[in-house]
Amino acid sequence: MGIYDELGVARVINAWGTVTAVGGSLMAPEVLDAMREAAGAFVDLHLLQRRAGERIAELLGVDAACVTSGAAAGLTLAAAGCMTRRVPTRRTQLPVTTGLADECLVLPAHRNRYDVALTLSGIRIVEVGPSAEITVDQVRAAVTDRTAMFLYVAESSQISGSLPFGVVARAMRERDVPVVVDAAAELPPRTEINRYLADGADLLVLSGGKEIRGPQSSGLILGDHDLVSESAAHAFPNHGIGRGMKTDKETIAGLVKAVEIFVDRERDERDRCERVVADIVAALGSVDHLKVRRHRPASSLIRPVTIPRAYITPLLRSVDEVVARLRDGDPAIAVGTDGPDVAINPQCLELTDVPILVGAIVAAASC
Ligand SMILES: *Cc1c(COP(=O)(O)O)cnc(C)c1O
C-alpha cells in the first residue's frame, strides 16, 4: 500500500497539463535525490538562498534570480520589492503601505485569479482605463507618483483588450515604473524568459513546479539585479511578509537540480510531446463518434501555447459530460477543454498512458 492508497486518494492520469490542482508536474529522480541529500545536513539558509539564486541565474542566462515558494509567492514578493526599492528602511512595515508608492497598474483584460497574490503585499491594483479600447497613451497617463509597478500577465497577452508587451514596457521604462511579468506557465520554450527580459521586463515571475518540474512549492523571480535583491529581502528566511512563504533547503536544492535538467531537456521533450499527440490522433482517427486533430491553442488563455495538443470533438456527448466521465473513471483522468473540444495536453503524459487514455476517451464519449 502506498501513501495515496492509505489515505484513500485515487491516482489521476494527467492529460490536462501542469495544472496545480492535480499536482502540477512530477520531479525527475535526480531532483528527488538532490532533495534527499539536502535534507541530510544543516546549512546557512541565507547563504544557500543566495548561492542557489546565482547558480540559477547563470543557468538561465539572466542577471539575477531568487527562489520563492511558487509563482504566486513570487508575485507577492515582487510587488513588495517594487514598493520598497527606494526606501528599504520601510521593508518591515508591509503590508502597511503608509509613505510608500503602493499602486500596481494593470490592463483590465489582465485581471485574473492571482490578483490576491499581489494585494497580499499591501499593494493596490489600479486598472488602466476605463475604456473598451485601451491605448498605450492611456497606460502612460495612468502613471502617478503613487505607481509602484506595472503588472503584465503573459497568458493574457493575446486576448482582446491586451497591448503588445514591448510597447507597454517601453512606455513604463520612460516613466521609471518597474514592469513585472507573470510568466508562471509560459514555458516552454526557455527563450520566452530571455525574450521578455530583452523586451523590457524588470522582473519575471515563474512557477518551479510546472514545466521546470521542480518541487511543487517552488518558483522564481528573475531579472534586474537590484530589484531581485530587494524582492529577496522580503523573502524567507528574512522576517517580513515573505516569512510564511517558506523555501526550505530541500525545495531550494530540488529547484536548482530541476533547472539544470530543464535547460538540457528541451529538444527531447518537444519530440516526446509530438509523439504522444501523434499516437493519440492516430488511435482515435477512425472512431465514428469523435473528430480528432493535432492543434495548438494559439489565441486562447490555454498555456503554454507552444505545446501541441490532441483536440477531440465528441459528437454524441457534450464536452462537460466527457470530462466528468473521465474524471470519475477508473483510473481517473484529468483533461483540459477548449470550447467544443477536449484538449489533451501531452506535457505530463507518458507514452505508456496513451492506450489507457484512448480507451477511456472512446468509452466516455459513447452513448
Ligand atoms: C500557476 C500560475 C500561477 C501560480 O503559480 P504557483 O507556482 O502555483 O504559485 C500564477 N500565475 C499564473 C498565470 C499561473 O498559471
Task: Name the closest-CA residue to atom 1, ligand 1.
Answer: 184
Helix axes 354-364, 319-327, angle to 10 degrees: 130
Which amino acid, one-letter code, is at 258? A
Tell how far the Cα of 152 is from the centroid of ligand 1, in angstroms: 14
DSSP alpha helix (H) spans, 199-349: 225-233, 249-284, 319-327
CA distances from 92 to 242, 299, 327, 331, 346 (A): 10, 42, 45, 49, 44
Q: How confident is the model at residue 133, as a pLDDT?
A: 82
- Residue 344 CA to residue 294 CA, distance in Å, equals 10
- Residue 80 CA to residue 34 CA, distance in Å, equals 31
- Residue 346 CA to residue 53 CA, distance in Å, equals 30
Ligand 1 neighbourhood includes 301 CB (under 6 angstroms)? no
Residue 170 CB burial class (10 angstroms; 0-12, 13-18, ≥19): middle
Phi and psi at residue 344, to the nearest 5°: -95, 115
Tell how far the Cα of 118 is from the centroid of ligand 1, in angstroms: 12
Strands (DSSP E) found in the chain: 12-15, 64-68, 103-106, 124-127, 147-153, 179-182, 203-207, 219-223, 290-295, 309-314, 332-338, 341-344
Ligand 1 neighbourhood includes 155 CB (under 6 angstroms)? yes
In the predicted model, is pLDDT for residue 64 greater than 90?
yes
Which residues pair with residue 47 across a beta bridge?
A: none
Q: What percent of the chain has pLDDT over 70?
A: 99
Task: Name the closest-CA residue to atom 14, ligand 1.
Answer: 184
At 221-249, the pLDDT tens digits run 999 999 999 999 999 999 999 999 999 99
Ligand 1 neighbourhood includes 183 CB (under 6 angstroms)? no
CA distances from 329 to 11, 323, 356, 363 (A): 11, 10, 11, 10
- Residue 307 CA to residue 296 CA, distance in Å, equals 7
- Its pTM stands at 0.90
78 pLDDT tier (thresholds 50, 70, 90): very high
Which amino acid, one-letter code, is at 218? S
Phi and psi at residue 322, to the nearest 5°: -65, -45
Ligand 1 neighbourhood includes 209 CB (under 6 angstroms)? yes
CA distances from 238 to 223, 230, 244, 356 (A): 20, 12, 10, 48
Sign of CA dihedral 63, 66, 67, 69: negative
91 pLDDT tier (thresholds 50, 70, 90): very high
Phi and psi at residue 343, to the nearest 5°: -110, 110
Tell how far the Cα of 70 is from the centroid of ligand 1, in angstroms: 7
Q: How confident is the model at residue 325, as a pLDDT?
A: 97
Please list the helix, strand and coil fractions of the chain in percent, rounded to the nearest 5, in that order. 45, 15, 40
In the predicted model, is pLDDT for residue 11 greater than 90?
yes
Tell how far the Cα of 220 is from the centroid of ligand 1, in angstroms: 11
Tell how far the Cα of 73 is from the centroid of ligand 1, in angstroms: 9
Sign of CA dihedral 85, 88, 91, 94: negative
Ligand 1 neighbourhood includes 186 CB (under 6 angstroms)? no
Looking at residue 181, what DSSP letter applies?
A: E
Ligand 1 neighbourhood includes 280 CB (under 6 angstroms)? no
Tell how far the Cα of 72 is from the centroid of ligand 1, in angstroms: 6
Average pLDDT over residues 68-94: 97
290 Cβ contact list (under 8 Å, min separation 6): 284, 312, 313, 314, 315, 361, 362, 365
